[in-house]
Structure formats: C-alpha cells, structure tokens
Amino acid sequence: MVYTKQDFVSRVKNVDGKHARLVSRGYTSRVDKNGIIVVKPKGKRLRFPIKGLLLLVLCFLGFKALVLTTSGPATYNERLAVLENGTAFEVLGATVLSIDPATQFIADQATLLLR
C-alpha cells in the first residue's frame, strides 16, 4: 500500500510539473498515429527583445535629433567639445552623442516640421 501511494504521488508530481511547463512556456498539440492528441511543452529558448532594442535605438536617435534641432549645430558641437575634454566616461558620452548621418537626417526633417 505504501509503495502504491508513493508511486501515485510521484505520478501526480510529474503531471503537475508538466502542466506547469505547459502554462509557463506554451505547448504544441499533435495527433499521433493512434489518433490520440499529445500535448508537449515547447522547448526552452532564450528570446532577445529585438523590437524593444530597435525602439530604444530609434528613440535615442530621435532625442539626439531633437536636441540638435533645438540647440543648433554650433552649440551642439561646442557642448560635445566640452565633453571630449572630460573624463573617460564623458569622452564615451561625446562619442555616442556625436552627430552621425542618421541623426543629421532626422534633425533636418524635424527642422522642416518645426519651422
């Protein structure tokens, strides 16, 4: 009787674990050759948020273009020159914030819209 109960508890534990994996990762359903529907959890895989990263880069470029448009290229470059003479972190910031072709294009388009 004790062995039967332990076997039952282990089977229930396996079913609960499979159900938890189905809920957390999703599942696929297939019909096997006997006509029985077999549900299996999807494999674990790493997902990299490419859309989120792309949106973050576009927002950053838009912010740079907005600052460039509102302050003007001369003032913007003066502020970058101050950053380039600072610490290593400020030099890195100046490199990232420098005017690139994408930022210049967005700033030109924003200038047409804002004026």
In this predicted structure, the answer to whether residue 9 has a pLDDT above a threshold of 90 is: no
CA distances for 106 relative to 1, 20, 59, 83, angstroms: 76, 47, 11, 23
**Whole-number Å distance between alpha carbons of 102 and 96:** 13
User: What pLDDT digit, counting tens, does each position of 17-37 carry?
Assistant: 877 777 777 778 888 898 888
**pTM assigned to the model:** 0.59
The 10s digit of each residue's pLDDT in 38-70 is 877 777 777 788 999 999 999 999 999 999 999
pLDDT tens, residue by residue, 80-89: 999 999 999 9
Largest alpha-carbon pair distance within the chain?
Answer: 87
